[in-house]
Structure 1
């Protein structure tokens, strides 16, 4: 092969080429050296209002405030009785003075107040951010490096950039900034809170499997027990986990884990409505909980029930759920049933227990499924118990759902009277669909929706 052709052949194969490094080793080593840690003053001085008044008088007079007051002036921007943010003209004078003096101490103090407060709803945040962004290239140190890495002084972009980097490195926003040299920025600082919210929006928008999303949300919320790191963003926590899967229910095991996480953080939405008021996913979570209660009852009792009887009940109540006719549900277990539920279901799942008393003795393993259907209420007993139906949940004899405990009489419908309609059916002739057709008629009376026999036929 001619030399010219051989050289051309070598040039076309990357494995035979030598590429000069894009960054010299000395440059890489230099960039790996982190700037020294900078402390953040996390509390406003006790005499803040006096300082603010002196600064205000000086700025109005066209004078530079005392040096000691200039160091504390950043706290006067958003804090105190009369913050500078309420007087845009004075704030503008102060920011122009900070730029004109161009001192690192002023820059660092203002950057600290900016990160600690970061009031996203304030019109002045952008003005302070722009001032800091212009000053950052003039100084070395952690704040300037953080701006170069994350555009930290771009008020619109900083939360998302910090969140993205923190998620990739599996850190909280405050941990990320601490590693970058901003030492004692509190976990609850305003910028950390904004980044926390941005991270949840990122997780919500990302394409991922339910198990991975649960891991991401759980990791992002940290190890804190109960509630979210920032309570006013608890709606974002629940929505980021649930809403991406609202139209396609996750598999039962991961769904149970999701519910365990949410109930551990925020309680049961059926009994703690105020806690769940910021969530857009509440109705989805309630539907998941209804399915879980139904599954608890059916699966737990299934271990001890006669299959030739129980398969008919499973088919019937599953068909009612599939028609979306159940608006609420809960299960009552004895100790044996509760132990089975804990063994079969991942995490803590909500259920009630039997208490002593009542005319009907509670046998071992006895359970009861309470369902709100239309305006009425159903108490479906396991074993040889009956299906009890109250046509009006306001009936004084009807049980309340989600009580901590029930006596047997609480979930047994008495005979009808002139005002209240009540029914109770034995589970006779299940293979002939006798009791099922009667209960289906009652459900039709409650909902005006007919469950057809073909929907609950056992095949």
Structure 2
């Protein structure tokens, strides 16, 4: 039987798995390499086959044609959440710590250090076993890891490494660039995901202060990154918004929080559920409330500009009064073509983040100039409109009731949907709307 060490010893030279000089690469390549830190993760459909091949080779002592790169790739697959606890791979989970302790091959040791970091889970047995073996072998590790260890001496302690990285981050003005400088990859999985959560929890009590909010946003999406961090983003959003569940920040901070979160992660009801699904209901409600106020004011501003009329000031007072009383839970505008032009000009002028924040009203003919405001309350949906369009009140539980956040609305078709009441803007219309809302109960 041929030992793995003998095969590795006579194998051709293998490229060092540490990160290349990222400064010489294009930014897009930089992001990919930074994410995986030198050890390839097989595609999801290939992972089990990769580990099974390693299991069979290890059992037979058959290592010909199997490189260090193959070995670390199989290790990366083995320690994924779906495979790492399988009983039929228990022997391999003992194999890797033993190889780390026995090997003098820096390429293997460096690769396994990357595997440990990428698959780290706080207190998990696989992380503890790999970490203990790597701690014993750290004198034989390459330059990259020797550069990290003075900053994080507990790097291979699976019970606290993430907390110690977070403690280091707390004292950094720019954690992203400073972590990269010491050799850690901020977008890495495993250990960096756990460190991110600890960092967010540690600074959460300070997130009512603008400088701390700015620092967290720089961490989530530093300059030069095309997209914001998604792993653990829900916890970050929760920490940013939770302080405002029972009070209101000043207008500038509220606008900064709302627009930046929306620019990074979209609308709570339209953005990625992998992010927004992790946000607690109190924080989610804060964001929806702020966006609702913006939608109502934006609609009123746009229609006031595109349809100058003394009638809009009473409507503004009425709808904003219901909003301030927290009757209105969500709002969405749908503009006619002329209204869309006004809305887009205002968005540019006011630096509103890109992305869909209103729909289109597509009815033609005499209704081609009509814009709509769709409002969601506890038990009803209200459709308000410009150009003498009546206020239509619908029961929310009716499947034919118009839904918010659609891309297209036909105001003529809406008139013929089953509704509680259609109210003209004549004297006493506000009272009739309130009564119709109560009748939806």
Q: Fold match, TM over 0.5?
A: yes
The structure 1 residue matched to 2:358, chosen from 341, 345, 351, is: 351
Q: Distance in 2 between matches of 1:127 and 1:80?
A: 14
**Partner in structure 1 of residue 434 of structure 2:** 440
**Partner in structure 2 of residue 10 of structure 1:** none
Between 405-414 and 375-384, report the one with greater CA deviation: 405-414
Q: Distance in 2 between matches of 1:107 and 1:330?
A: 55
Structure with higher Rg: it is 1
- 1:273-352 aligned within 5 A: 274-275=273-274, 276-280=276-280, 281-303=283-305, 309-333=311-335, 334-339=339-344, 341-342=346-347, 343-344=349-350, 346-348=352-354, 350-352=357-359
- 1:95-106 aligned within 5 A: 95=97, 98-99=100-101
The structure 2 residue matched to 1:373, chosen from 377, 387, 401, is: 377
**Once the 2 structures are TM-superposed, how far is the Cα of residue 200 of structure 1 from its aligned partner?**
3.5
**Partner in structure 1 of residue 148 of structure 2:** 146
1:326 partner SS = coil
Normalization by structure 1: what TM-score?
0.68
2:374 partner SS = strand
Question: Could you report, residue by residue, the CA deviation over 1:246-297 in whole angstroms, capped at 9, with x for unpaired residues?
Answer: 3333344543443333333433333458453232233332222222211212
**Once the 2 structures are TM-superposed, how far is the Cα of residue 116 of structure 1 from its aligned partner?**
3.2
Instruction: Assess if the C-alpha contact under 8 Å between 1:77 and 1:85 holds in 2.
Output: no
**1:394 corresponds to 2:385:** no
Instruction: Assess if the C-alpha contact under 8 Å between 1:300 and 1:340 holds in 2.
Output: no
Q: Distance in 1 between matches of 2:221 and 2:300?
A: 34
Change (3 A) 1:138 1:315: same
Structure 2: any 5+ residue segments left out of the alignment? 1-15, 20-36, 43-48
**Partner in structure 2 of residue 409 of structure 1:** 412
- 1:229-248 aligned within 5 A: 229=229, 231-248=230-247
**Partner in structure 1 of residue 40 of structure 2:** 43
**Partner in structure 2 of residue 209 of structure 1:** 209
**1:268 corresponds to 2:256:** no
**Partner in structure 1 of residue 34 of structure 2:** none
Normalization by structure 2: what TM-score?
0.70
Q: Distance in 2 between matches of 1:205 and 1:57?
A: 56
2:367 partner SS = coil
1:124 partner SS = helix
**Once the 2 structures are TM-superposed, how far is the Cα of residue 350 of structure 1 from its aligned partner?**
0.7
Q: Distance in 1 between matches of 2:334 and 2:69?
A: 64
**Once the 2 structures are TM-superposed, how far is the Cα of residue 405 of structure 1 from its aligned partner?**
2.7
Structure 1: any 5+ residue segments left out of the alignment? 1-35, 59-64, 415-419, 448-459
Change (3 A) 1:219 1:188: closer
Instruction: Assess if the C-alpha contact under 8 Å between 1:259 and 1:285 holds in 2.
Output: yes
**1:193 corresponds to 2:184:** no
Change (3 A) 1:312 1:320: same
2:232 partner SS = helix
| Equivalent residue pairs, number | 387
**Once the 2 structures are TM-superposed, how far is the Cα of residue 125 of structure 1 from its aligned partner?**
0.6
Question: Could you report, residue by residue, the CA deviation over 1:396-433 in whole angstroms, capped at 9, with x for unpaired residues?
Answer: 4x43322223333144467xxxxx5542333234xxxx
Change (3 A) 1:98 1:426: closer
**Once the 2 structures are TM-superposed, how far is the Cα of residue 440 of structure 1 from its aligned partner?**
1.8
- Cα RMSD for the two superposed structures: 4.2
Instruction: Assess if the C-alpha contact under 8 Å between 1:331 and 1:352 holds in 2.
Output: yes
Q: Distance in 2 between matches of 1:346 and 1:71?
A: 47
